[in-house]
Structure 1
Amino acid sequence: MTAWVLRATVLGALVVALRVLLGLAMASWPTYGTFWRAACLLTIVAVVVAWGVRDGRTGADGLTVRWLAAGFGAGLASSAVCWALDQVPGFELGDAGILYELTSAASFILLLIFLPALVGVAFGFTRSRRSAESATRAPEPEFADAK
């Protein structure tokens, strides 16, 4: 399985699971909607940043395109699955239409995955470069002044 497909599958499944949990939480505790939305948003961002840091530390090439493709795949797939689940009685995911899900919601998920991933990649790359420089740097010998 290519790297972006794995990322898109895992993150798309995470988005669907969190949207279903958010729907259940909103039905049970509607007054805590802001808290539940923020918790879901922070969960997705934390997972993406952690994965991006891991990628950045490996120093692989083509991470921008890999994460863009993963965000695109996860956004479209999770939006389509959430729309299909919303059609099932008992699931409350917002009653959004298919056009909204495949355009606005998918592009939001794309950006929600792509931007934090690039921040994580940059941080991981910087950290790995600093640790590599400090590991290869040898102490300079001290010479006594001969006068």
Structure 2
Amino acid sequence: MKPWLVRGLGLSLVHVIVRALLGAALMQWPLQGSILRWLGLAVVILAAVVWAGIDGIRDRRAYPDPDDGEDLTMRWLAAGAVTGIVAGFLTWLVDTLTAIPIGVKSILFELTSGAAFTVLLVFLPAMAAVTAGRFFAGRGEKTDESDRTAPREQREPATVAGAPAADPAWRNDDAPTEVFPAVDPHAPRPER
């Protein structure tokens, strides 16, 4: 199964459970609606943040070079889209078929505006968590400091594939140099 589909379906399940529990809790404690809604929102965001943070940590450990990592942006955007559409449909279905008053509007609203909000609710915190996970995993790595602490003469020079290696005589401070005359910007140009 695709990684984005697993994340999308998992977060859809979290979203539907939170909304069902929120509907049941509002029936029991109607005066605590604001606190309960904020708590439900925090649970959905926290689920996305934890999962995406783990993705960021795993990615940085697998690919220490930031340019080589997986494309977690598209993975989490697709997961957010799946979460929005599937969670919208399932909450509408639960509200229609059960006695739990989730408080959905209509199927059209849940699959358009509600889904768009859910996509942002998953994607934006997930991207922040991926970035933080990569950052903290990168900080914890032990870097090879032997190249940095070695004297300049002992370091291996960078080579380009297919290019001839540099002459070692030109690497030290006593290498012969050629001095060029200074360029005077006001001097007349030579005729060609």
Deviation at residue 44 of structure 1 after TM alignment: 1.2
Paired position in structure 1 for 2:54: 54
Find the counterpart in structure 2 of residue 24 from structure 1: 24
Per-residue deviation, residues 65-86 of structure 1 (Å, max 9, x unmatched): 0000000001100100111111
Distance of 2:56 and 2:104 partners within structure 1: 38
Count of aligned residue pairs for this structure pair: 141
**Distance 1:136-1:46 versus aligned 2 partners, 3 A rule:** farther
- In structure 1, runs of 5+ residues without a counterpart are 143-147
Cross-structure match for 1:145: none
1-side partners of 2:97 and 2:29: how far apart? 21
Taking only the aligned residue pairs, the percentage that are identical comes to 34
Deviation at 1:141, TM superposition (A): 7.2
Q: Distance in 2 between matches of 1:15 and 1:105?
A: 12
TM-score, normalised to structure 2's length? 0.69
**1:118 is aligned to 2:127:** yes
Larger relative CO (CA 8 A, sep 6+): 1 or 2? 1
The structural deviation recorded for 1:89 is 4.6
Aligned to 2:97, the other structure's residue is in SS state coil
Instruction: Work out the CA distance in 2 between the residues paired with 1:89 and 1:58.
Output: 40
Q: What is aligned with 1:4?
A: 4
Q: Which amino acid aligns with 2:26?
A: M
Of 46-55 and 112-121, deviating more is 46-55
Amino acid at match of 2:14: L
Q: What is the TM-score with the length of structure 1 in the denominator?
A: 0.89
Matched, 1:96 2:96: no
Aligned to 2:42: 42
* Code of the aligned partner of 1:39: L
- What CA deviation, in whole Å up to 9, does each residue of 1:24-72 have, x standing for no partner? 0001100001111111111111111111111111224110000000000
The structure with the largest helix share of the pair is: 1
What residue in structure 1 maps to residue 93 of structure 2?
84
For the pair shown, the structure with the greater C-alpha radius of gyration is: 2
Which structure 2 residue ranges, 5 or more long, are not aligned? Answer: 60-68, 152-192
- Of the three residues 82, 107, 118, the one matched with 2:116 is 107
Q: Distance in 1 between matches of 2:73 and 2:47?
A: 17
